[in-house]
Structure 1
């Protein structure tokens, strides 16, 4: 059981009615709270919850339409995303109770101050290196429009400016990160066919690929619902069409790809998390056609070349700058 769920269950009497659990972990909490519903924006956790608790959890960027008398938000990493989620929930709970739970090292005490916009917050519990806070909604906010919170910027690329639409919670929100900037400079001579942007974020790489290789099929894949929504907005802003897939890791990707391109994440919440990238390197060959290519950018300190060579083929360093390297390998 996730420690945040354990803290909730220490106060189980507070959570017996119709309740919405927002950003819940994929544990047995829904089993312990039979009247609760879930709202997830993580495709992997949603899949696990859907298997165990069919029909009781929704994957989306906005709260489900079902009625709930109280809500619990599991603190996400992004302060801006926290603000959107809290306002979305509070708007549905006039006079109701909103709870916030999270790890101390994730900044729960700082985030709890955001509850004061709705009423007087109070700390209910502190255990398992987590805290549980509660506020009764005395000042009901208007329901926020997610797209109005997007950050828009343009990238001056060689074939013209690319419009990017970034939603709260998406990696490198509102700006181009250093790794992606380096990878964008090395997208030449890709084999024709089906291209995949793995871990697409706001869709910068996928949109660039579709514009540069218009005759190629392009797919974008991410685990996060807000990234999926951002990628769709970025594609639309540039008049482009591509497949956008919500899925947890390379297992969700199509087969027979000509290229996989990625600036893979190695953080999940406040935790360092390499599993998605390591699974990508181990299984890329199964998703690539013969002579298909993997091209990714990563921090220089990450020891990926041995894993690439073990599972795919000889690894070439295409470029190195600002603490990042671009690796290229072709399926044997």
Structure 2
């Protein structure tokens, strides 16, 4: 059981009514709170919850339409996303209870100050290195549309400016990260055919490739619903066509690919997690055609080269700089 869920269950009497759990972990919490429903934007967590508690987990970037008498926000890593979630839920809870739970290392004490906009928050519990806060919503805000919170920025590329649309919670929100910047400089001579942008984030790489290689088919994949929505907005902002899908890891990707391009993730919330990236490397041969190519960027300290060589039989460092390396390998 996730420690944040354990803290909630210490106050279980408060959560017996109609309750929305926003950003809940994929544990047994819904089993302990039979009147509760979940809202998840992580494709893997949603799939696990839906398999165990069918019909009780909602997936997407918008809160479910159904009514609820109280809501709990599991504090996300992104402050911008926390603002969006709290605003969205508080707008529907006038006179009722909004809760915030999170880990101390995740900044729960600072985040709890955001509750002052709605009423007088109080700390209900502190245990398992987590805290639980409550506020009665006395000042229900006007709900802000998600698109009004998008960050728009422009990349000056050799073939012209590229428009990027980034939503709250998306990796490197509102700016270009150094790893993707290096990979953008290493997109020449890509094979023709079906290209996968794995862990697409705001769609920077996928959009750049589709514009540079318009004859290629592009699929963008991310585990996060906010990233999927961002990528669709980025493609639309540049008048580009592409398939954007949500899924948990490389197992959700198409087969018979000609190229896999990636700035793979290695964080889940505030925790380091290399599982998605290492699965990508180990299973890359299952998704690439013979002669297909994988090209990715990673922090220099990560030992990805042996994993790529084991999967594809070869790997070379194509470029490096500012603490990152570009790896390139071809399936034999």
- Per the TM superposition, whether the score is higher than 0.5 is yes
Deviation at 1:92, TM superposition (A): 0.8
1:258 paired with 2:253, answer no
The match for 2:216 is: 216
Cα offsets for 1:120-159 (capped at 9, x unmatched)? 0000000111000000000000011110111101101111
Partners of 1:208 and 1:260 lie apart in 2 by 14
Distance, in Å, in 1 between the alignment partners of 2:322 and 2:131 is 38
Aligned length: 332
1:278 is aligned to 2:275: no
Q: Which residue of 1 aligns with 2:206?
A: 206
Task: Write the distance in 2 (CA, Å) between the matches of 1:213 and 1:44.
Answer: 31
Partner Cα separation in structure 1 for residue 126 and residue 312 of structure 2? 47
CA RMSD of aligned residues (A): 0.5
**Matches of 1:129 and 1:292, distance apart in 2:** 46
Q: Distance in 2 between matches of 1:168 and 1:192?
A: 33
| 5+ residue gaps, structure 1 | none
Deviation per residue, 1:195-216 (Å, 9 max, x gap): 0000000000000111111111
Secondary structure (helix, strand or coil) at the match of 2:254 reads coil
TM-score by length of 2: 0.99
* Match of residue 47 from structure 1: 47
C-alpha separation in 1, matches of 2:269 and 2:3: 14
The aligned counterpart of 1:156 is 156
Aligned partner of 1:166 in structure 2 is 166
2:177 equivalent in structure 1:
177
Superposed, which structure 2 residues align to 1:83-232 within 5 Å?
83-232=83-232
Structure 1 residue 162: deviation in Å?
Answer: 0.3
Residue matched to 2:28: 28
Name the structure 2 match of 1:329.
329
**Is 1:247 matched with 2:271?**
no
Three-state SS of the structure 2 residue aligned to 1:196 is strand
2:38 aligned residue:
38
For residue 115 of structure 1, give the secondary structure of its aligned residue in structure 2.
helix
Residue equivalent to 2:312: 312
Aligned-pair CA distance for 1:223: 0.4
String of CA shifts for 1:259-308, please: whole Å, max 9, x gaps. 00000111111111100000000000000000111100000010100111
Match of 1:62 in 2: 62
Task: Give me the whole-angstrom Cα distance separating, in 2, the residues matched to 1:202 and 1:225.
Answer: 11
Structure 1 runs of 4+ aligned residues shifted over 4 Å read none
Distance 2:313 2:99 in 1: 50
Q: What CA distance in whole angstroms lies between the structure 2 residues aligned with 1:239 and 1:170?
A: 21
Q: Which runs of 5+ in 2 are unaligned?
A: none
- Tell me what 1:233 maps to: 233
TM-score normalized with structure 1 length = 0.99
Pairs within 5 Å for 1:280-295: 280-295=280-295
3-state secondary structure, aligned to 1:20: strand
SS at match of 1:303: coil
SS at match of 1:113: helix
Within 1, Cα distance between the matches of 2:196 and 2:285? 13
